[in-house]
Amino acid sequence: MDKTFDALLARMHELRDLGGVIGLASWDRETYLPTRAHEARSHQLSTLHGIQHERLVDPRLGELLAWASDAPRLTPDQRAMARVLTQERDRAVKLPRTLVKALAEAQSQGLQAWREAREERRFARFQHALSRLLALRREQADAYGHGGERYDALLDEYEPGMRVARLGPVLASLRDTLIRLVGALQAAPRQVPELFQGRRFDTEAQWRVSLRMLGDMGFELDSGRQDKSIHPFSSGLHPTDVRLTTDLDEHSLEGLFSTLHEGGHGLYEQGFQPAHHRTPLANAPSMGLHESQSRLWENLVGRGRPFWTHYFPLLRDAFSEGLTGVALDGFLAAINRVTPSFIRTAADEVTYNLHIVLRYELELLLIRDELPLDELPAAWNERMRRFLGITPPDDLQGVLQDIHWAWGEFGYFPTYALGNLYSASIYAAARRALPGLEEGIARGELRPLRDWLRDHVHAEGYRLPAEELVREVTGQGLTDVDFLAYLQSKFGALYGVTL
Amino acid sequence: MDKTFDALLARMHELRDLGGVIGLASWDRETYLPTRAHEARSHQLSTLHGIQHERLVDPRLGELLAWASDAPRLTPDQRAMARVLTQERDRAVKLPRTLVKALAEAQSQGLQAWREAREERRFARFQHALSRLLALRREQADAYGHGGERYDALLDEYEPGMRVARLGPVLASLRDTLIRLVGALQAAPRQVPELFQGRRFDTEAQWRVSLRMLGDMGFELDSGRQDKSIHPFSSGLHPTDVRLTTDLDEHSLEGLFSTLHEGGHGLYEQGFQPAHHRTPLANAPSMGLHESQSRLWENLVGRGRPFWTHYFPLLRDAFSEGLTGVALDGFLAAINRVTPSFIRTAADEVTYNLHIVLRYELELLLIRDELPLDELPAAWNERMRRFLGITPPDDLQGVLQDIHWAWGEFGYFPTYALGNLYSASIYAAARRALPGLEEGIARGELRPLRDWLRDHVHAEGYRLPAEELVREVTGQGLTDVDFLAYLQSKFGALYGVTL
């Protein structure tokens, strides 16, 4: 039996190694690839994906996994490894080759049409390609199988185990409370002025500060690195090789928050236990849980008073000119300013999830085929008015702003909201478990938090589905209670209102 | 028939894509890999090599190649593609798995023993591991097959088509003339003083100069890049993605010559014609011919008066302090100073090939099993005395200096000498074909040479074996005549003697 599991393990190793190499080739494409090499890199990545797919659907792997599903003497971890890989393999097996090919073509056409539509600032230009993508995604959902709700099958790729029936009510409750909070904050007598306009922050100094923060967080720079790319991202090639990127802009300090965000993802990837390396357990159980770790460091920690009590003096040293006349209180207010705005990626902590709920509601309607596509921009704008009280001046600042749908990605957006909700619940649990946590943070001691997260979240890997793991860590599953309590306390104090 | 060739071509593409990705993972290991990720990277590379080998020996590929070997309507290029891949596949098929595994283990043990022997400065510590490597390489030669000379089978991996019967006499003639030249130069009344000791050359400025030279040579920086690594190397992931590395030392300008060297390799890789991309024809036909391009730029061009007529003023600007009191003539003499020395990699153009012949003679004896291993250090030292008139003070500066044998590489060293010989013949042909070539170089015009090399050497790819291609380009095959004429003319003038 050991020998059979060894054969299965060897295939797991091979698949993870291929995944790591795909990660490397993708990271390199965004960082160091010569400009004329993009076509060659596409070919290389396509070849690697092809081999990975072929290995995954190999019937012999299916036999080994079938054996593992009722082999009596496996350890719990071995069982979990086999279970996770079985899920992944089942999805790959169920997807017909013709559909995979049609999707790849539709994605490419979708991107092209979306770019043209953006240039013309006109959704109609994108409508036909989007219609094709939606049809194929519905087909994909049917191929995977579902209990009547196609969206569940798509969501399951990013957030395994999550269902519309569970997610919908939580997001609806969150939406209603957030609309109320945004209104209350806008009506508050105390308002927060914009602070950063016209200031300049040397990008070399930002780079040094960002590396200092990563090191302080416990991101291990001998098992990872930070580079520059146009869009920041993180990529775990292996727990000893975790690559973050950042994009620094001399007119803004947002790059520092981006580093904290990617650093949070990076800590997750570095925190898988050695026994799980090169196996399917060295994975977060969901995108939402992964996002919880980036948002925890970016927002719960990184936009909080304890953190800046320690770092603001360092920041003043690094940007003495850029921060002229700015004190800690003003800085904290400015980095937490709440303003309804059109663009999701620039949204503050309070309004952000309304952008997500908007997309979730629309893509659920689209996948259900309950919203005619030519009504999509109007449906978008109507929700923007209802949720945030503003109307996009054009589709570029409305329905065309995100690349996700252009790429045919439906079911991904909710994971951003799940990340925010989970981040607050997990941070609340950390505060309960670690008395004096925030006093320590105010002294620059970030390691106790990292260590606690590593022990309770990261090292678990993919043993449990996301919500079960969250329940083990926090005592409860998905809820908006912790997140809303956090917003009410923090923004109530900042704006001088009771929320 | 077209469809069958398309199937073959798809497999060629896949193999080249895998090769490119292996190149990327290897390049990254030497440049940006986090220090703790080496074990993970070894696994990834081993997985990729395993898949590459599996694809290569796949019986279906064998069938396609067999079909191509007598398909009537293939183009000459299609035929050549199939021939090159057949050679590569035959070697892979002939190598038993057990031997591959034994070699990998022996290489690992060889490296380890060699490192320990270097620490103890004692060859005996390495002897046992070397003996094992030699035995396995003999076994490998027998597996490949040969006509009685095992060394031929090993040489063939690096220099396809070259044989001991052809190479031996040329190297023997070269050796005898070089011994005479070295003696004459040492006895010359005019001697060249060392110039660089104690000087300092800012590495940032060296970096800028090296990039400038690469650009001037016509190395396309939108299809390649230069980075830093401990040992300089070049790697062609694809003709649009050619990566060079350099190691700059503030106490030396050798890094600039290293850039010219790697740049020469890089031009070769960028010069394959688009119709050959992702096929076996986008390859140099031999390591020796590849080396001819690096040596041509490093030495024939890069240590010549025309080149420095243009670049020395730029160098003076970049290193005004480091080059205080140095004029063009003194600089040219210093970068061409001839001194018998122990270490091959630091050798000048005249003595360098004697280091190579020494290794060639010894490894031929070793593979033939005609030299007892415990006599190897003495045989090395005896040749050092006979060729260069000096005796290594210990094995570290003698038989233990190169990593090649520690890695079980036998048959590779001669390609360095072949590179030098071919470089002189090809450069002589270029001068004949391009009147005013060196006057142009003296004005900084390097592109005509690159374009000529691209048209006549690089773009040919692997259509012909190396020596046949050289014959087409220069009118003759392997010879030491051009190389010796070059040395005699250049060093005779420098040292004021008739050679």
- pLDDT tens digits along A370-400: 999 999 999 999 999 999 999 999 999 999 9
Residue B2's pLDDT is 79
A262 included as an active-site residue:
yes
Using CA atoms, how far apart are residues B229 and B242, in angstroms rounded to an integer? Answer: 15
Residue type, B90: D
Percentages (nearest 5) of helix, strand, coil residues in chain B: 70, 5, 30
Q: Are residues A164 and A64 in the same domain?
A: no
Does the model's ipTM exceed the 0.90 cut? Answer: yes
Percentage of chain B lying above the pLDDT 70 cut: 100
**CA A235/CA A266 separation, integer angstroms:** 8
Chain A neighbors of B244, CB-CB under 8 A: none
Domain membership of residue B429 (yes or no) is yes
Domain boundary among A47, A64, A79: A79
CB of A185 closer than 8 Å to CB of A497: yes
Q: Kindly state whether residues B88 and B146 are assigned to the same domain.
A: no
Q: Do A238 and B32 touch (CB under 8 A)?
A: no
Chain B contact set for A34 (CB, 8 A): 221-225, 240-242
Query: What is the rounded CA–CA span in Å between residue B70 and residue B58?
Result: 20
Asked if residue B115 is part of any domain, the answer here is: no
Does B41 touch chain A if contact means CB atoms closer than 8 Å? yes
Q: Is A241 on the interface with B (CB under 8 A)?
A: yes
Is position A446 within any domain? yes
Q: Quick check: B321 contacting A, CB < 8 Å? A: no
Give dist(CA B483, CA B461) in Å, integer.
24
User: Which of A34, A47, A221 minimises the CB distance to B222?
Assistant: A34
d(CA A142, CA B437): 68
Whether B291 has a binding-site annotation, put simply, is yes
Go through B279-306 and write b for each residue having 16 or more CB atoms within 10 A of its CB, e for each that does not.
bbbbbbbbbbbbbbbbbbbbbbbbbbbb
Contact A390, A340 (CB under 8 A): yes
Of A17, A26, A38, which to mutate for an interface test with B (greatest number of B Cβ within 10 Å)?
Answer: A17
State which residue of chain B sits closest to A225, comparing Cα positions: B34
Q: Residues of B with CB below 8 A from A14's CB?
A: 47, 50-51
- Per the CB < 8 A criterion, the answer to whether A258 and A299 are in contact is no
**pLDDT at A1 exceeding the cut of 80:** no
Q: Catalytic: which of A159, A254, A262, A460?
A: A262
> What pLDDT sits at residue B1?
56
- B206-229: b (≥16 Cβ within 10 Å) or e: bbebbbebbebbbbbeebbbbeeb
Same domain, A53 and A184: no
When CB atoms are compared, the residue of A36, A47, A238 closest to B40 is: A238
- Chain B: residue whose CA lies nearest to A54: B51
Pair (B156, B58) in one structural domain: no
Residues of A in contact with B240 (CB under 8 A): 34, 36-37, 39-40
Rounded to whole angstroms, the Cα distance separating A269 from A233 reads 13
* Number of domains chain A contains: 2
For residue B383, give the nearest of B186, B178, B143, B150 by alpha carbon. B178
Of A79, A110, A140, which marks where a domain is finished?
Answer: A79
Determine the average pLDDT of the residues in A236-263. Answer: 97
Residue A261 counted as an annotated binding residue: yes
Distance of alpha carbon B202 from alpha carbon B322, whole angstroms: 8
Element (H, E) at A420: helix A413-433
Same domain, A58 and A166: no
Evaluate whether B478 touches B289 at the Cβ level (below 8 Å): no
| Mutation target among B32, B38, B234, B276 for the A interface, most CBs of A within 10 A | B32
Q: Do B17 and A238 touch (CB under 8 A)?
A: no
pLDDT score for A341: 97
Stretch among A193-197, A446-450, B233-237, B312-316 having the lowest mean pLDDT: A193-197
In tens, the pLDDT along B308-317 reads: 999 999 999 9
B34–A277: do the CB atoms touch at under 8 Å? no
- For residues B279 and B187, state if they share a domain: yes
With an 8 Å Cβ cutoff, are B34 and A278 in contact?
Answer: no
Query: Helix, strand, coil: what percent of chain A each, to 5?
Result: 70, 5, 30
Can you give the pLDDT at residue A2? 79
Q: Evaluate whether residue A316 is within a structural domain.
A: yes
Cβ–Cβ pairs < 8 A, chains A and B: 112
Q: Has residue B102 been placed in a domain?
A: no
Say which of B262, B269, B349, B460 is annotated catalytic. B262
Q: Are residues B136 and B80 in the same domain?
A: no
Looking at the structure, tell me whether residues B58 and B165 fall in a common domain. Answer: no
pLDDT of residue B233: 97
Structure tokens at A393: 């001046």
- Amino acid letter, B15: L
Contacts of B60 in chain A (CB under 8 A): none
Task: Determine which of A36, A214, A221, A225 to mutate to test the interface with B (most B C-beta atoms within 10 Å).
Answer: A36
Nearest chain B residue to A15 by CA: give it: B47
Give the minimum alpha-carbon distance from A378 to chain B in angstroms, rounded to a whole number: 44
Distance of CA B281 to the CA centre of its chain: 19
Average the pLDDT over B298-312 and give the result.
98
Are residues A188 and A57 part of one domain?
A: no
Q: What percent of chain A has pLDDT over 70?
A: 100
B283 Rama class: left (phi>0) / alpha (psi -120 to 50) / beta: beta
Evaluate whether residue B337 is within a structural domain. yes
A265 labelled ligand-binding:
yes
d(C-alpha B69, C-alpha B86), whole Å: 9
Nearest to residue B417, comparing CAs of B491, B492, B328, B478? B478
Instruction: Output phi, psi for A228, to 5 deg.
Output: -105, 140
| CB of B60 less than 8 A from some CB of A | no
- A181 in the same domain as A51: no
Q: Of A79, A99, A115, which residue constitutes the final position of a domain?
A: A79
The pairing of strands A234-238 and A241-246 is: antiparallel
Using alpha carbons, list the distances in angstroms from residue B443 to B267, B306, B307, B447. Answer: 21, 8, 8, 11
Whether the pLDDT of residue A470 is over 90: the answer is: yes
The verdict on B72 and B195 lying in the same domain is no
Q: In terms of DSSP bridges, do strands A234-238 and B224-228 run parallel, antiparallel, or are they unpaired?
A: unpaired
The reported pLDDT for the residue numbered B475 is 97
B33: left (phi over 0), alpha (psi -120 to 50) or beta: beta
Mean pLDDT of chain B, nearest integer: 97
d(CA A216, CA A260): 11
Domain that holds residue B15: 2-94
CATH number at residue B397: 1.10.1370.30
Show residues of chain B in contact with A32, CB under 8 Å.
32, 225, 227
Nearest to A28 among B24, B46, B277 (CB): B24
Residues B75 and B174 reside in one and the same domain = no
Q: B113 in a domain, yes or no?
A: no
In whole angstroms, how far apart are CA B125 and each of A128, B113, B115, B270, B382? 73, 7, 9, 43, 21
User: For residue B242, which residues of chain A lie inside 8 Å, CB to CB?
Assistant: 34
Residue at B47 is within a domain: yes
**Torsional class of B278: left (φ above 0), alpha (ψ -120 to 50), beta (otherwise):** left
